Structure 1
Amino acid sequence: MERLHPIDPQNERCAFCETEGLVEVIDFGDVALAGGFLKEEAFARESKFRLRVCFCPSCYAVQVPDKVDPNLLFADYFYFSSAIRTLREHFNDYATEVVARFVTPRHATVLEFGCNDGILLKPLADQGIANLIGVDPALNILKTIDDPRINTVHGFFNESLVEELIGRFGKADLVLANNVFAHIPDINGVTRAVERILKDDGVFVFEVHYLGKIIQDLQYDMIYHEHLYYYSLLALENHFARHGMTVFDIKPIPIHGGSMRYYVCKKNSFHAKDISVRVHNLRNEERALGYDRPETYTTFAANCADRRQRLMDLLTRLRAKGRTIAGYGASGRANTIIQYCGIGREHLEYMIDDAPAKHGYSTPGSHLMIRSNDVLRTEPPDYLLIFAWSFFNEIAAKSADYVAQGGRLMVPLPDVRITFYPTSDDLL
């Protein structure tokens, strides 16, 4: 029997500015945790939690107000970044850029929190960083970093841990956080921790999925309990100003279907004297697109509901014709689509994922078995629904033999469609 968890009334306040009166954008209802993969014997004990997205009309922050205990989300994590070739290449380039731009390696102290399996730390070590620290709360993943050049620290990055880190390593020239700055319930506390550990002219660089891409491409699959915040530049500028910090540059990047790299410094840093024209342009663009107005998000929610209906109509038609369908990419994003749309065993035969740690587990809520892509040779379905659609080209390449034998690929976003040939043009 599923267990539902009550809503904390304190969650009705904005996590950033603490204003009451959040505007609800979309309500997913009570859903299982997107990263809560489980074995069959645990099905009866599975918990579900409320999932909503709200907009703060005071500071423009888009957020999930119903927060789940981080220990439930991250204590035994299943996401291994290094399993994805596209990400490995991305972080190699990232390391080269930030080192060349901001630090002298042999004298630098660089810290990454939410470091996962060291996918960025290892190329930073290759750059010769003298003092390199990785912090992560998922011990099972942190243990996979077996590199004497990297100091690993188990725990949540917060104000208490920062004092310990300063005592051990000193202050940092560069603090990095990738796809984690949107995961933290106490966002003000963590921002204070970043400001505290940074040197006066130090730089905080972080990547998060960009709110503009979520809205434009109807990426409702980015919404789950881990992802508490969906950032616009407007909201981030308001947030960092309250902490004596400034966004001085940005860089749009294609990873994860559209992310933004933000470069932040203390307001008295020399970096703050040269705000990039890219920052000014994006600020103006966001205001023109209405990212500071609630009606923008109301329209987004209606369009998401339309994509849900289109996908379910397609799956229902194919199943009625006796076609077999499997899913590819058992990620948190996939689990949001599955639960929001109501996809179950009557729609999909099984799920495929490239991370061996997930094989033999089932997806949360829907309880679809996760298998290796070897199954495409032994039990190929008629159709593959590519949940990891932002990695379509990589998955299509791995599935080339399947496609050559008549298999067909489908994507759920940004538009629901079937494609016969694994080329990038099919997703334009």
Structure 2
Amino acid sequence: MYCRVCDSTNLELAIDLGSQPWCNHFLKAEEIGKEPFYPLRVLYCHDCGTVQLDYTVKKEIMFGDHTYLSGVTRSLSEHFKNVAEEVDNNFFKDTLGKSVLDIGSNDGTQLKHFQALGYEVLGVESSKTTAKIANDAGITTLNEFFNLDVVNRLQRKFHVINAAGVFFHLEELHSVTEGIREALRDDGVFVVQFLYMKRIVENLAFDQIYHEHLLYYNLNTIEVLLNRHGLSMFDAYLSPIHGGSIIGFVTHKGKKEQSDRLQNLRQSEVEQKSNELSTYLEFAQRIQQMKTENLTYLKQAKQQGKKIFGFGAPVKGNTMLNYFGVGTNYIDCLVEKNELRRGLYSPGMHIPLVIEKEIQELPDIYYVLAWNFKKEILSNNQHLIAKGVEFYFPVNPQDV
């Protein structure tokens, strides 16, 4: 195997989460037990420090058509609104004919907020169902996998290019990054939003490791990739979204000075050894301990006769359920808002999904898999907490 970022062969196993199904493959009843399993292992590159999966499930399988929708969660839409306003205020407030390209644009939620600010918008989304939802809502969206070939066919450049939660998905990593460079105006800004591996480790949020996430970036490692393609990050900050994400601002190399806050974040990675193998080996040990603690909690709850439902059915929740071996022996169902998942079952553990508004009886415990929206969940469910329903967060970061 070659490092996905720097092509080195100096790679070492850091984390092994066993054999798991593709976690976004929610199953129909007739598919139960027929889903394929793949290795879920994280390797460390000794040359550039990037951590990455060693096995690639083909992008056509994972992203050709899926059920994830950005617009379902209010706090995510609000985050996207804030990003759009921030980009506009800082860079293009009085620009005429301003334009934005969103890579992996999903149902168009991010682009709606740019559109409201007067931008001409274009989305590129690989999932057929979600691309149609976006087009039906008036957000022009190409149903394709973004890469250099798409850019060459478009033959246009954009003031803003956005990639939210997709840059760690990329099987065609270098073609996509080169495409971004080609499609970005000389004065343009590429906004890259990605799960911050430093925070994943700090939060013990190992469930954010799954087959769709081929790479796990820190600031020092994503810069290796950007520099390779003539791009450079000039500013960044840590957002609480998804338990800790970097919102990075990138342009053509040599165009802008790096901000103090970006340099401070980078220095923190050095001081805390965030890009060293020892940090990831320790992380792997903590994951094993977390498994023991969670199984103990669930066993005790069942022995006390308590009814347990899963709260949310995020893709990452399936990493946790499969690694822990938690199925209907502990959790009766997964309660979900997303109508596209009606009547489906979780991959691997085969827990039935139930739409939230159709719940007939309350559980004693909600085991919260959608922990990254903790504040919103607790705020929306005070009436259940008052009735004695416990909300248990297996991952419990303090700033979400």
* Counterpart Cα distance in 2 of 1:319 and 1:401: 24
* Counterpart Cα distance in 2 of 1:124 and 1:375: 35
Q: Which runs of 5+ in 2 are unaligned?
A: none
Q: Residue in 2 aligned with 1:332?
A: 315
In the TM superposition, what are the counterparts of 1:107-146 in structure 2 within 5 Å? 107-129=97-119, 131-146=120-135
Residues 25, 53 of structure 1: 8 Å contact kept = yes
Q: Residue in 2 aligned with 1:82?
A: 71
Pair 1:405-2:387 in alignment: yes
Q: Residue in 2 aligned with 1:97?
A: 86
Q: CA RMSD in A?
A: 1.6
Pair 1:243-2:232 in alignment: no
* Counterpart Cα distance in 1 of 2:184 and 2:66: 28
Residue type matched to 2:181 in 1? E
Q: Residue in 2 aligned with 1:422?
A: none
In the TM superposition, what are the counterparts of 1:248-397 in structure 2 within 5 Å? 248-269=234-255, 272=256, 274-376=257-359, 378-397=360-379
Residues 135, 141 of structure 2: 8 Å contact kept = no
The alignment-based identity, stated in percent, is 32
Aligned with 2:133: secondary structure?
coil
* Counterpart Cα distance in 1 of 2:118 and 2:159: 14
Q: Residue in 2 aligned with 1:173?
A: 159
Distance 1:409 1:133, change over 3 A: same
Q: Residue in 1 aligned with 2:30?
A: 41
Residue type matched to 1:20 in 2? T
* Counterpart Cα distance in 2 of 1:151 and 1:386: 35
Structure 1 runs of 4+ with >3 Å offset: 146-150
Aligned with 1:29: secondary structure?
strand
Deviations 1:52-107 (A, max 9, x none): 11111101111112111111101121110100010111111111111122224532
Aligned with 1:26: secondary structure?
strand
Pair 1:190-2:176 in alignment: yes
Q: TM-score, normalised by structure 1?
A: 0.90
Aligned with 1:250: secondary structure?
strand
Q: Residue in 1 aligned with 2:218?
A: 232
* Counterpart Cα distance in 2 of 1:390 and 1:105: 35
Residue type matched to 2:321 in 1? I
Q: TM-score, normalised by structure 2?
A: 0.96
Q: Residue in 2 aligned with 1:69?
A: 58
* Counterpart Cα distance in 2 of 1:254 and 1:148: 28
Aligned with 2:356: secondary structure?
coil
Residues 326, 384 of structure 1: 8 Å contact kept = yes
Q: Residue in 2 aligned with 1:6?
A: none
* Counterpart Cα distance in 2 of 1:84 and 1:156: 24
Deviations 1:190-227 (A, max 9, x none): 11111111112211111001111101111101000011
Aligned with 2:96: secondary structure?
helix
Residue type matched to 1:117 in 2? D
Q: Residue in 2 aligned with 1:419?
A: none
> How many residues are matched?
399
Q: Residue in 2 aligned with 1:60?
A: 49
1:150 to partner: Cα distance:
3.4
Aligned with 1:44: secondary structure?
coil
Residues 105, 127 of structure 1: 8 Å contact kept = no
* Counterpart Cα distance in 1 of 2:111 and 2:136: 10
* Counterpart Cα distance in 2 of 1:23 and 1:248: 31
Aligned with 1:144: secondary structure?
helix
1:354 to partner: Cα distance:
1.2
1:292 to partner: Cα distance:
2.8
Aligned equivalent of 1:153, options 136, 142, 152:
142
* Counterpart Cα distance in 2 of 1:44 and 1:308: 24
Distance 1:283 1:393, change over 3 A: closer
Distance 1:22 1:226, change over 3 A: same
Q: Which runs of 5+ in 1 are unaligned?
A: 1-11, 416-424
Residue type matched to 1:125 in 2? Q
Residue type matched to 1:37 in 2? F
Residues 99, 105 of structure 1: 8 Å contact kept = no
Residue type matched to 1:196 in 2? E
* Counterpart Cα distance in 1 of 2:127 and 2:135: 15
Q: Out of 309-318 and 401-410, give the one that drifted further.
A: 401-410
Residue type matched to 2:314 in 1? S
1:375 to partner: Cα distance:
4.9
* Counterpart Cα distance in 2 of 1:34 and 1:40: 16
Residues 15, 186 of structure 1: 8 Å contact kept = no
1:148 to partner: Cα distance:
7.7
* Counterpart Cα distance in 1 of 2:99 and 2:69: 25
Residues 237, 262 of structure 2: 8 Å contact kept = no
Residue type matched to 2:261 in 1? R
